[in-house]
Structure 1
Amino acid sequence: MTTRPNILFLLPDQLRHDFLGCYGAGFLRTPAIDALAAKGTRWETAISPSPICVPARASMLTGQHAHATGILHNMCWLRPDRHQMGIRTWPEILAASGYHTAAIGKMHFYPWDLSEGFQHRVIGEDKRHIHVRDDYHHALVSEGHAKLHGKEMPGYYETKGASTNPLPDHLQPDRWVAHRAADHLRSLKTDQPFAMMVGFPGPHCPYDPPAEDLSRVDPAVLPEALPRTGESETHLPALVAGYKRDWADLDYSSLTKAQIRAIRHHYAVSVERLDEDVALLVETLRETGKLDNTIIVFASDHGDYLGDFGLMGKGFFHEPSIRVPLIVADFRAPEARVETAPASLLDVFPSFLEWANLAPAPQSQGRSLNDPDAGRSFAGATSSGFMLRDARWKLVRYGNGVQALFDLESDPGEQENVIDAHPEVQARLDLALTQSLLEGFAAGHADKMVPDAKSPPDGAFHDRCWQRPYPAMA
């Protein structure tokens, strides 16, 4: 038995917290994920500060805010000279300390086959990366199949993305990833500790479970979507334009109640299937004798509106977009606990290092999950705007000119913008947001530092032809 724990990081894509039984969803069944919560700590409030796929993943890998990494949307990735600045990913740090590191499934790196410190990769970048010739692509081709665009699936246009996937069960994206992860767990024969990330492609759109599974969930009992607001309506043009592009080819300028119900139905069914995939991995750990020395972390990169506020997907700072599940089950000492102090996705980076008995990394801007703080506030940034959220209040400022303040205590559904009624709260949150942005920008531009400008009189900086080191170390 190793003295350092194994770490299994399970990351579904676009999973909102309130579609899990342990978070109060009584309309579907998630016994495996609920069992993780019953063995460990479930965070009541976990925040994705930059609720877009690539920014969230870059932040989790490096422990840095998006306004430090510079990754504010899905069309960019970490700078290739980050090592020269002293920036390492958590798999790089753990691998250097003796861990076996592995990534199975969707990671959303550019290039898509980049290692980023993972010594072993099995790649399945579906569901929207249908042209990527990854391991999942070759598995499909070997059995006479191919990746499908949502529009090639039954029901896609009629229900605005709620389709059914005709592939065999073992080739459904999440199921294929789960089986490849289980295969790799079985292949680990030594006592070397492992740190393994499993990136499930679902329940991200298209919302495409197999047709035969739709009877799992009764659509009539699903929660209704939150109403549109004047603030949310201002984001609709940008969202509509994005989804009209070829990757989705959908028009979300309008959504009927029936379409929203269908989307939520297919999403809920996909979550139930995901729960079975989680059960497979837990059982594989048990069968191989690894479970008792493993910490399982279950989270997501961001949520999904599913019609709330008349919106779909993610990207803005409403609760359905930024709230994610966060469960940590340490099977070395199982204990059920609900943590009411909030957490951020940035917190997984320092926590992984701490669990591996490693020193903190100076780059980290998160907080260990073992050190909760009920008074924390969270700054967030995307290419759309900025957010500052604390336990009660949320301030948002967007590039389209919209600014809003929400009292989450009296208005958890964010239906009323009260920014004019609470100038003192706005000022306090504005100051905290400004401080966080300045810290992030300073870290993100540390490569441009010229510390030699302060060198003593005999320093080479003062001579002709002095060469400026670049990039400077952070």
Structure 2
Amino acid sequence: MAAQGTRWQTAISPSPICVPARASMLTGQHAHATGIMHNLCWLRPDRHKMGLRTWPEILATEGYRTSAIGKMHFYPWDRSEGFQHRVIAEDKRHIHVRDDYHHALAAEGFTKLHGKEMAGYHETKGACINPLPDHLQPDRWVAQRAADHLRSLRGDQPFAMMVGFPGPHCPYDPPAEALDRVDPSALPDPLPRTAESETHMDAHVAAYKRDWAGLDYSRLSAAQVRAIRHHYAVSVERLDEDVALLVETLRQTGRLENTIIVFASDHGDYLGDFGLMGKGFFHEPSIRVPLIVADFRAPAARVETAPASLLDLFPSFLHWAGAAPAPQAQGLRLSEPDSDRAIAGATSGGFMLRTPRWKLVRYGNGTQALFDLEADPGEQENVIDAHPATRAELDAALTRSLLQGFATGHADKAVAAAKSPPEGPFHDPFWQRPYPAPPATQ
């Protein structure tokens, strides 16, 4: 794909947590606008009354057949959110969800397994071996179902399909026979811990000790980090085969030359960088994601140096489909890069503003940091006291973004009739306030 499309050097997940990132990709809005700031939230069920539509809903009105295959992380898990067709394989941690993947396993006498039930999970802090047959490994099963769906398409109706691979993701659980495909000694060492990263350690350790993971990351040996990075790299390498299956299926069905494929992720993974695992804070290993757009209608290899945000996918999908721009979109079209762009981010834990050179972060635990990404790409030195003017400039831009997001997120409460209206129903007893406020009054 990269050899025939555009690869972004810097693509950012503004809210590097599964569910907030996915809500932003679906709606084109910041997490502080959707209100989805952590993994236990989801889009409000009355969002249509507020004029908030997902990109599959909009593309369906443009005549597209929309489908979602794999992990989506919606609540409820079988909600459509505008996709006309779904084949569901939810998060690997959600072993009790009776989705399509559950039924496929049961049909062959297997069940979903928690990482705790896999060999090596506790010894290597999450790097384990998935014992399922190859065709029932989560990512491979999703790829096969997506290929099946592509083969089932008939006629000339345009289609839009989102394929959500459950991995690479903790638990880091490739099959044993795949481990020798990557040399662990060739993998880079993790970034060192810093005084700033240590301020997040207590919350990080407490989160992973909970039942969903059951791991103690208060101590992480070099050997355990190597094993985790090895398993993750093997999972990435296998995913390359899964993506290749979809590209080849498009080629075999005669659709590739009229298809745009986007490869991205909802967040990164520390894999031991800063002594951390998973994601959730605003360091580069957590917020940086791959982004490749291969337009097989006009293949051409190029590298884009301007930064992109996952929020940019929503307006780009609409543009490629020929749909009108949606007022809710808060990102840029990928075809309109901005080399000086500042990208704001938010989670329930804190806020970020990142420019090509600088990154300002503020967390609920009181930690504040400024990093010079040009001089210190590994974010080893907090220079917030050394650059007061830069700090103030970024802080003002971050404040503007947050205020805009909060205004959008609370537009449902607007009462337009209260703006000194002429005599009318607003002044009468028992006037009924419309709620949520309709889009025209926002």
SS at match of 1:338: strand
Of the structure 1 ranges 242-251 and 112-121, higher mean CA displacement relative to structure 2 is found in: 242-251
8 Å CA contact retained: 1:126, 1:173: no
Q: Deviations along 1:270-325, whole A, 9 cap, x unmatched?
A: 01100000000000000000000000000000000000000000000000000000
SS in structure 1 opposite 2:180? helix
2:355 maps to: 390
Superposed CA offset, 1:145-176 (max 9, x none): 00001111111111000001110000000000
Partner deviation per Cα, 1:18-41 (whole Å, 9 max, x = no partner)? xxxxxxxxxxxxxxxxxx011111
Aligned pair 1:259/2:252, yes or no?
no
**1:410 has 2:352 as partner:** no
**1:237 corresponds to which of 202, 208, 211:** 202
User: What's 1:449 paired with?
Assistant: 414
Aligned twin of 1:210: 175
- Alignment partner of 1:430 is 2:395: yes
Deviation digits for residues 71-124 of structure 1 (CA, Å, limit 9, x no counterpart)? 000001000110000000000111121100000000000000000000000000
Which residue of the other structure, out of 397, 400, 408, is the alignment partner of 2:365?
400
SS of residue in 1 equivalent to 2:150: helix
Aligned-residue offset at 1:467: 1.4
Aligned to 1:247: 212
8 Å contact 1:54–1:77 — kept in the other structure?
yes
Query: Which residue does 1:14 correspond to in 2?
Result: none
Q: Among residues 112, 116, 120, which one is paired with 1:151 in the alignment? A: 116
Number of aligned residues = 439
Deviation at 1:375, TM superposition (A): 1.0
- CA–CA separation in structure 1 for the residues paired with 2:31 and 2:75: 16
Choose the corresponding residue for 1:123, options 64, 82, 88: 88
Q: Provide Cα deviations, 1:354-385, integer angstroms capped at 9, x if missing partner.
A: 00001100000011001111011011000110
Please give the alpha-carbon distance, in whole angstroms, between the structure 2 residues aligned to 1:194 and 1:382: 33
Q: Distance in 2 between matches of 1:344 and 1:94?
A: 21
Kindly report which structure 2 residues correspond to 1:22-41, keeping only aligned pairs within 5 A, or say none: 36-41=1-6
> What is the CA-CA distance between 1:473 and the residue it aligns to?
2.1
Match of 1:52 in 2: 17
Match of 1:31 in 2: none
With structure 2 as the length reference, what TM-score do the two structures score?
Answer: 0.99
Runs of 4+ in 1 over 6 A off after TM superposition: none
Deviation at 1:415, TM superposition (A): 0.3
1:181 maps onto 2:146 in alignment: yes
Give the Å deviation of 1:461. 1.4
Residue 39 of structure 1 aligns to a residue whose secondary structure is: coil
1:109 corresponds in structure 2 to 74
Instruction: Map residues 293-372 of structure 1 onto 2, 5 A cutoff.
Output: 293-372=258-337
* Alpha-carbon shift at residue 126 of structure 1 (Å): 3.5
- Find the aligned partners of 2:275 and 2:357 in 1 and give their Cα distance: 24
Could you say what secondary structure the match of 1:203 adopts? coil
- Alignment check: 8 A CA contact 2:182 2:230 kept: yes
Is the CA contact 2:73–2:91 (under 8 Å) kept in the aligned structure 1?
Answer: no
In structure 1, C-alpha distance between the alignment counterparts of 2:224 and 2:255, rounded to whole Å: 44
Cα offset, 1:455, TM superposition: 4.7
Could you say which residue in structure 1 is the equivalent of 2:46? 81
> How do 1:265-304 residues align onto structure 2 when only pairs under 5 Å count?
265-304=230-269
Q: What amino acid maps onto 2:368 in structure 1?
A: Q
Report whether the alignment pairs 1:133 with 2:98: yes
Per-residue CA shift, 1:130-153, capped at 9, x if unaligned?
110000000001000000011111
Distance in 1 (CA, whole Å) between partners of 2:422 and 2:153 is 58
Q: Which SS does the other structure have where 1:202 is aligned?
A: coil
Query: What TM-score, normalized to structure 1?
Result: 0.92
Give the match's secondary structure for 2:167.
strand
- Superposed CA offset, 1:234-277 (max 9, x none): 11111111111111110001111100000000000001100000
Q: Which runs of 5+ in 1 are unaligned?
A: 1-35
- How much is the aligned-residue C-alpha RMSD, in angstroms? 0.7
Q: In structure 2, what is the Cα distance between the partners aligned to 1:126 and 1:170?
A: 18
Percent of aligned pairs with the same amino acid: 82
Q: Name the amino acid aligned to 2:282.
A: F
Q: Does 1:169 align with 2:134?
A: yes
